[in-house]
Amino acid sequence: MVNTLFGINLTAVAGTAWSSEDKQAIQEAVWRVATRLASATNSSVWRGGGTGYLATTFKAVYGIRDNRQLRFHLDPHIVNNQIVNYGCYNCRPNICRTPKDPLKTGEPNEYWENDLVINGEQDCDCKPIGGYTHTVRSIEFASLWDNYDSKGSAVKQLRKVNNVIHELGHAFSARLDGKPKDAVHAHSTTIGNEEWRMESRPLGFYVGDVSKYGTMTWVQSPTVSDTEVFADMFLGWVYNKWDDTPSGRVYGQERARFMNARMPGWIRDAMRKP
Ligand SMILES: [Zn+2]
């Protein structure tokens, strides 16, 4: 129902299906993004506009038409520890795409925690997780990244929602031919980041929980690149949540300023595109 109204098309590779939790996460993410897009452009219209107005805004921003829906495609690539379908190299975590560095002997886990075990042997071909935005209206998920399920189900569901919002951030940047990610690149180093691993984090993103679990809720990608930083800033902007800790506040404020200043114009540019 919501999917139809917002022009969302869920597809899955043969033999798999979206779980109800995943479908719910996608709906919530789309709803949150649509609400934020609408409020950033014309809040007075949104107040009287309701769901139809939200859907119209969302579709215009992402260029969704009747004959070109926004497709979320599920393909885990691995079922029962067997590779069933090669592809989506970029769905693998960055740490899995990095050759193991023999100098980093003190932190082997970060390289191996997503490893596959095939026929009892560890395979260095890591398990795809999370999503990858191919084009503005084509997003593939190996999984909705709930990640580290030792935490409660509420946090787990929040991570799934945030994973979808992060991908919608990539899609938004793609809609504008990468202008937002280029703006991150051109900005002063205040919102740039040093290389980081699971144990540390770029400054300025919301710190809901300082553990590794919390880190991966509000910083969805451990890769420090213009495109990943923008996608996580899109996530922060959607919730209006930024780092408010003493050490990170200045970076959080800078990220908030960056997004609040640019998003309204970018949204209007996106809506005007064919
Ligand atoms: Zn990403």
Q: Dump the DSSP string for 147-190.
A: --TTS-HHHHHHHHHHHHHHHHHHHHHHHTTTHHHHHHHHS-GG
Q: Is the pLDDT of residue 218 over 90?
A: no
Residue ranges covered by each domain of the chain: 2-74+130-272
What single letter denotes the amino acid at residue 245?
T
The protein residues having their C-beta less than 5 angstroms from ligand 1 (an ion) are 221, 228, 231
Largest CA distance in the chain: 60
Q: Ligand 1 centre and the CA of 198: distance in Å?
A: 15
Q: Ligand 1 centre and the CA of 239: distance in Å?
A: 17
Q: Ligand 1 centre and the CA of 96: distance in Å?
A: 15
CA distance 113 to 140: 22
- Condensed to tens digits (0 to 9), the pLDDT of residues 88-116 reads 666 766 555 554 554 544 443 344 445 55
Q: Ligand 1 centre and the CA of 272: distance in Å?
A: 25
Q: Which of 68-77, 141-150, 220-229 has the highest mean pLDDT?
A: 68-77
In this structure, the number of other CB atoms found within 10 A of the CB of residue 135 comes to 11
Q: Ligand 1 centre and the CA of 165: distance in Å?
A: 10
- Condensed to tens digits (0 to 9), the pLDDT of residues 11-66 reads 999 888 999 999 999 999 999 999 999 989 875 555 666 888 899 999 999 999 99
